[in-house]
Structure 1
Amino acid sequence: MADTEDLLRSPIHDRHEALGAKFAEFGGWSMPLEYPTGIVKEHTAVRESVGIFDVSHLGKAMVSGPGAADYVNATLTNDLGKIRHGKAQYTLCCDEETGGVVDDLIAYFHNDSHVLLVPNAANTAEVVRRLVEKAPEGLTIRNHHTEFAVFAVQGTKSDEVLAKVGLPVGHEYMSFVEANFGDAGVVVCRTGYTGERGYELIVRNNAAGALWDAILAAGEEFGILPCGLGSRDTLRTEMGYPLHGQDISLDVTPNQARLGWAVGWKKDAFWGRDAILAEKEEGPQRTLRGLLAVGRGIPRPGMSVSLARDVPLCEITSGTFSPTLKKGIGLALVPTFVDPEAELGVDVRGRREIFQCVKLPFVDTSVRES
């Protein structure tokens, strides 16, 4: 781990300290892992009411100039041509040769000349580097990583909380609205990483503290809790959402990660197209699957997964205790020859615990999210 003095900090780091947050390193940033309330209570607040996360470590990069949208569409996997102004799209930046995932990110389509990209913290510089390297003359790719804060307000009461703050709510999932909080501009995005109804807010650093304070005050009557990245991880794992660096990486393709839905298969070009298309036609040798504990075992990344006691298959990529199900859950890149409903063993600290392969997500929030 990097020395804490070398880590970047959120513009509201002092507020997290005042709330008693426990910090951890995430992609070169010192970010709240949990607050004194604890991960389980923070997780439950999001599932049952509302929570707020500071995710300012996420990257922000703007592709600008004539043909910006066309350039993004020719490089990233998803088909940007299928969305319009004010819409967002989950997409992937893949390696040109291997098709491995450099990063997964959200593209915000402002107009044909302006596309905002929000990659993961650790990969922002690499995504920007690759885009700059291939950009045609007249296009500008600017890395705004440290200039904006990002807050995620997630949960069934997120609309009520943001409405009290005076921000627009109720727009379509994967869309965004540009609004104002006082004199500050705020991009209000109907996106999130928890599976619950919610919003992500992008605001300049100088207005971040006031917005954070206003949201916490407005959410008090709904039981809002500040939530750390520990509960964000348990929430996303319950949904089966992959995390770059664990479930997806340069060694994992969209086909293997079950992210083919984020690939514009009919497009003429995107980075890694030939390799990804060839693998799709042949069939991937492994796929990301959900594993649900039959007993009391809690899986953790790196634990060995086996079909029989002495036949190792793969390793857990993401694993945790599910506060909603009260069971251990995990993700693993399981060989495709394994039956989709097989029982597998996981070596949990020297004990072989049985896990059932299950269809993702582990928790169905579709009714609440709509």
Structure 2
Amino acid sequence: MASETGSTDASLIESPLHDRHVALGAKFAGFGGWSMPVEYPAGTVKEHNAVRESVGVFDVSHLGKVMVTGPGAAAQVNARLSNDLGKIEPGKAQYTLCLNEEGGIVDDLIAYYASDEKVLLVPNAANSAEVARRVAEGAPGGVEVTDLHRDYAVLAVQGRESDRVLEEIGLPVGHDYMTFVEADFEGTGVVVCRSGYTGERGYELIVANEAAGALWDRILEAGAEVGILPCGLGSRDTLRTEMGYPLHGQDLSVDVNPVEAGLSWAVGWKKDAFPGREAVLKVKEEGPKRRLRGLVATGRGIPRPGMGVTLVADVPLADITSGTFSPTLRKGIGMALLPTMVNPDAEVGVDIRGRREIFQLVPFPFVDTSVRES
């Protein structure tokens, strides 16, 4: 639950940018054990629209940071995670999954492949220590797995004007999607990756805590001319939902496998071994019993996680995993793990506070930003 401006639960970890958020009037909420800004005075819809139309900046320092180093570091990562790191070259980033032996998704994360002896992993906040533990299992001598969760900040600059903003402060821009560059900001190293969770062109910046405040300030200053807004996790959620990007803890969990989640592309099927390989291979061969689907309201209903989804004939199917109001479409949108026997373009009902609202099943993404992302 969001707290009042400036207040926070003492048990939660504060971002290194917490004082900046308080000064900007942010409202906070607990997320993965961290106190993070949900929205600023402009509000979630305006923050969302700033990213879709111009540029916004997010503090996502709650994301984990796990460094794997030493001879054989890349091979160790490749043996413990689902995707095939051998498909990419140093200087590229890869979306991948940490699976258990049953094929359930422990977490989804990004691997930054710097060299055969250095890979940086960025998992979700609540799972950082567990990912570090699993990656370290069976590591040969000389390979070190270090949890740096509280040593680095992560800033996401997202939107079509992101290049202009970062270029203004002297950071490299224009590199290909899912590639990264190690740069310098006022004497401190910064990893600048062409990635993000919004569907818009953008960058994610990983920087040591002590330089995070100055970097945040410079980004807001440089973006003032194009209407940059600081953005909270509320707009991050509406933006990622419009793209059909799953969120661990809602759409993904240890009870969901990659095939069900539509993430088969993040599995290195030709790799000899990784945790969960046999289980997910069996699901792939037999076909999943359910799939993550998108739903769009035909009326004014706004779905929320936990609301029941039924066939129009009142046959229970599943619960909404993610649901929100789409500021871009001006409609309610949602995601649910529905039985594969349901026609992919069927209409379904969603129980919204005791009233059944009709939703149309649609493919992801809900919003097409492909032209802007290139």
State whether residues 57 and 228 of structure 2, in contact with CA within 8 Å, keep that contact through their aligned partners in structure 1. Answer: yes
Matched-pair identity in % = 73
Aligned with 1:311 (options 305, 315, 326): 315
Quote the residue 1:256 is aligned against.
260
TM-score by length of 2: 0.97
CA shift, 1:100, in A, is: 0.2
- The equivalent position to 2:16 in structure 1, one of 11, 16, 19, is 11
Match of 1:126 in 2: 130
Give, in angstroms, the shift of residue 136 of structure 1.
Answer: 2.2
* Structure 1 residue 297 corresponds to structure 2 residue 301: yes
**1:333 counterpart residue number:** 337
Question: Is 1:153 matched with 2:154?
Answer: no
Provide the residue aligned with 2:35 in structure 1.
Answer: 30
Q: List structure 1 segments (4+ residues) > 6 angstroms apart after TM superposition.
A: none
Residue of structure 1 aligned with 2:65, choices 49, 57, 60: 60
1:77 is matched with which residue: 75, 82, 87?
82
Aligned equivalents of 2:306 and 2:260: distance in 1? 18
Quote the residue 2:347 is aligned against. 343
Amino acid at match of 2:48: H
CA shift at 1:174, angstroms?
A: 0.1
Tell me the SS of whatever aligns to 2:10.
helix
For residue 359 of structure 2, what is the aligned residue in structure 1?
A: 355
8 Å CA contact 2:312–2:347 kept in 1: the answer is no
SS in 2 for 1:345: strand
Residue in 1 aligned with 2:232? 228
Q: Does 1:110 align with 2:114?
A: yes
Which of the residues 189, 194, 200 maps onto 2:204?
200
Equivalence for 2:97: 92
Q: Measure how far apart 1:309 and its partner are.
A: 4.1
- Corresponding residue SS for 1:93: strand
> Could you list the per-position Cα deviations for residues 81-135 of structure 1 after superposition, in whole angstroms to 9, with x for gaps in the alignment?
0111110000000002x10000000000000010000000000011111122332
- 1:366 equivalent in alignment to 2:370: yes
Query: Aligned pair 1:283/2:278, yes or no?
Result: no
Partner of 1:178: 182
Q: Which amino acid aligns with 2:113?
A: F
Give the whole-Å Cα distance in 1 for the aligned partners of 2:194 and 2:361.
31
CA RMSD of aligned residues (A): 1.0
Stretches of structure 2 that go unaligned for 5 or more consecutive residues are none
Q: Deviations over 1:13-67 (max 9, x none)?
A: 0000000000000100000000000000000000000000000000000111111
Of the three residues 45, 52, 56, the one matched with 1:40 is 45
TM-score (norm 1): 0.99
Unaligned runs of 5+ in 1: none
Q: Offset at 1:74?
A: 1.2
> 334-343 or 128-137: which moved more?
128-137
Asked whether the equivalents of residues 81 and 135 of structure 2 are also in contact (C-alpha less than 8 Å), the reply is: no
